[in-house]
Structure 1
């Protein structure tokens, strides 16, 4: 029988749960052939499920159905979840209540390690820095999903025109939330304090700006169709010439559907609704000037370079023409990257150094028993289905190391060290105490600062109960409220 396996997974999002689920199912409990196995998951967020809870738009509840599978995974007695735990060399600054766990404590207590830490930081636009008039989209998403980073609510009662930079699904999510009546959103997983702010919103128009054209837009036809069918907003018509493919270009099926939707336009005729939105193609920001006076009605000035596609590279290049767009607030939605403080971060790729699911050294050599999956390994792209496929592939890699490894895979750690100067193959414990925990976690559990999955299910049930009382999907708790509720509901 192979030696015991004790896997630490850093991260508690979909990729982490898909790996855990797959590994536990392929090495069944009480199977005499399988090695003794433990899977311990650590997440800096106190609630599990990562982007499913804190990234999926609230009016897309069907996307969250995967949590049922994750709940089943958590019933396996070999699995444990530890939330509100930040693993790393320094505490995570934006979640001050998270328990700090040095990476060395993981290495000392586990035989295998998987990074499923995702891409948690927004990519900023080089020409417009964050300011009172420019914020990353992640701030808005964190606000309406009640992320533990405590994003402040936007001053929507002082905004009439909002500009989104980037034409991906996140931009359309934000635009849709801002252009949908709170009475419609109330049935979904939208916190009451968010609905209250939305009810005071004065946003009348949302511009969605992209540096390339409709054939290159990153949003899906599903998201576009939802925008087109908004009941209280209409789309500004797009110049017909922009919706004609260039000579020699044959659109894909999805591109044809996008062009057809854009040609048809929104369900509501332009000018017939109190709110509107536009897709502004071939525009790239070059600067943002604040209002000339302190009047709340004055707008900032967003300078846009007009662009065209270079036929040879398909890159957007400036034409030399510019225009100015008056706007109350700019929201940049240009994707995400991994935290540079994460071990094995690759500055060039902006995610962790990995190949075929294995963390690699700076020389490109695979490190023994250390893996990466999901956005942490591949960058911020793909949907839940592609995340699951990738996670299952990484699970196969882990399994190949549990049984005698393939001669074709060269695994080494001799020339690579962690940031604190520790060679990982010297620290991962080949003979761990299967049920032992790092001392910091033991103390954190005793102090009530670490959330385990049973704790989460108690909170989950209460959130759903509170939501049902309000006629909605759920009413979320923040950290302090969840902690207080667990204390009050604990057996005496």
Structure 2
């Protein structure tokens, strides 16, 4: 029989759960050939599920159905979840109330380690740094999903025109939230205090700016169709010549759909609705000038360089022309990267150093029994389906190390032949399977660290409160969740 395996997973989002689910299912509990196995998951957020809870737009409840699979994974007695635990870095974007756990505590207690930490830092635009007139999209998303980092609410009652930089799904999510009636949003997973701020919003127009053209947009046709069908907003028509493919270019099926939707325009005729939105192609920000006075009616001026696509590289290059777009607030939505303070971070790739799911050294050698999956390994790209496929592949890699001759152990690529391990990065080859780091034991006792049973209590209460209000759920903040958990533990 293979030796016992004790796997720590850092991160509690979809990739982490898909890897855990796959491993536990491929190594059945009652199979005498399965090694003794423990899977412990650590997340800096007190609630599990990562981007499914704190990134998916609230009016897309169907996307969250994957949590049913995650709930099933958590019923395996070999699995444990520990939330509100920040492993390693405590510098960037830390959660103030999270327990700090040094990475050495993980290395001393586990035989295998998976990083599924995602990409948690927004990519900023060098020409327009954050200010009172410019904020990253992640702050807005975290505000309307009640993320534990608790970003302040935007001053929507002082904004008439908002400009999004970036033409991906996150930009369209934000635009859709701002252009949809709060009475419609309220039925979904939108906290009441968010609905209250949205109800006072004075946003009338949303501009969505991209440095390339309609064939290069990152948003999906599904998201575009939702924008086009907004009941209370209309799209500013796009210059028809911009929607003609360049000579010699044959659009893909998805690109043809996108062009057709853009040509047809929005369901509501332009100018017939109280709110509107527009797409601006071949434009790249170069500066943002604050208004000359402090009047709420004055707007900042966003200077945009006009661009074209370089046929050889498909990169946007400036034409030399510029224009100015007056706007109340700029929101940059340019993607995300991993936390640079995370161990094994590669500044060139902007995510962790890895090869075929295995963590590598700066020289390219594999580090034994250390892995990475999802955005942490590949960068911020892909949707839940691609995340699941990647996670299953990484689970296969882990399994090939645990049970080398198992038929279920499949990897996409063989590991490099050279293996190395620095003395201060040594995992424990003979850990106590059921022991926890001492910091975690204390954190559970002190009510700081949450477990999956705690989450089930919180989840049930959030759903109950939502039903009382006629909505999907009403979310809790940390203080209220902590009190509820303490009460539940006292009763049990």
TM-score (norm 2): 0.97
Q: Give the CA deviation at 1:423.
A: 3.8
In 1, are the aligned partners of 2:161 and 2:329 still within 8 Å (CA)?
Answer: yes
- Deviation of 1:93 after TM superposition, in Å, equals 4.9
- Aligned counterpart, 1:100: 100
Query: Which whole-Å deviations, capped at 9, do the CAs of 1:331-389 have from their partners, x for residues lacking one?
Result: 00000000000000000000000010000011111110000000000000000000000
Contact 2:119 2:351 in 1 (8 A): yes
Instruction: Note the C-alpha offset of 1:7.
Output: 0.2
What RMSD, in angstroms, separates the aligned Cα atoms of the two structures?
1.3
SS at match of 1:16: helix
Structure 2 residue 19 is the aligned partner of structure 1 residue 19: yes
Alpha carbons 2:84, 2:97 under 8 Å: kept = yes
- Residue of structure 1 in register with 2:54 after alignment: 54
1:412 is displaced (CA, Å) by: 4.9
Asked if 1:439 is matched to 2:438, the reply is yes
Q: Distance in 2 between matches of 1:409 and 1:468?
A: 51
Equivalent in the alignment of 2:273: 273
Q: In the alignment, is the contact (CA less than 8 A) between 1:85 and 1:101 conserved in 2?
A: yes
1:306–1:398: structure 2 CA closer, same or farther, 3 Å change rule?
Answer: same
377-386 or 401-410, which moves further after superposition?
Answer: 401-410
| Structure 2 residue aligned with 1:295 | 295
Provide the rounded CA distance (Å) in 2 between the counterparts of 1:91 and 1:434.
31
Alignment deviations for residues 151-170 of structure 1 (CA, whole Å, 9 cap, x no partner): 00000000000000000000
TM-score of the pair, normalised by structure 1: 0.97
Q: Distance in 2 between matches of 1:196 and 1:155?
A: 12
The answer for unaligned runs of 5 or more in structure 1 is none
Q: What residue in structure 2 maps to residue 367 of structure 1?
A: 367
In 1, are the aligned partners of 2:466 and 2:473 still within 8 Å (CA)? yes
The range that moved more, 404-413 or 186-195, is 404-413
In structure 2, the partner of 1:470 is 469
Match in the other structure for 1:449: 448
Match of 1:390 in 2: 390
SS in 2 for 1:242: helix
Q: Is the 8 A contact 1:6 1:110 kept in 2?
A: yes
Q: Secondary structure at the match of 1:326?
A: strand
Question: What is the CA distance between 1:90 and its match in structure 2?
Answer: 3.5
Give the secondary-structure state (helix, strand or coil) at the position aligned to 1:139: helix
SS of equivalent residue, structure 1 residue 215: helix
Q: CA deviation at 1:116?
A: 0.0
Give the Å deviation of 1:89.
Answer: 4.4
Instruction: Please name the residue that 1:409 is paired with.
Output: 415
1:119 equivalenced with 2:119 (yes/no): yes
Aligned length: 485
Q: CA deviation at 1:489?
A: 3.0
Maintained 8 Å contact 1:360/1:366: yes
Cα displacement string for residues 21-47 of structure 1 (whole angstroms, at most 9, x for unaligned residues): 000000000210010000000000000
Aligned match of 2:351: 351
- After superposition, residues 216-365 of structure 1 pair within 5 angstroms as 216-365=216-365
Structure-2 residue corresponding to 1:154: 154
What CA distance in whole angstroms lies between the structure 1 residues aligned with 2:205 and 2:418? 56
Change over 3 Å in CA distance of 1:122–1:252 after alignment to 2: same
Distance 2:89 2:275 in 1: 47
Whole-angstrom CA distance in 2 between matches of 1:312 and 1:91: 41
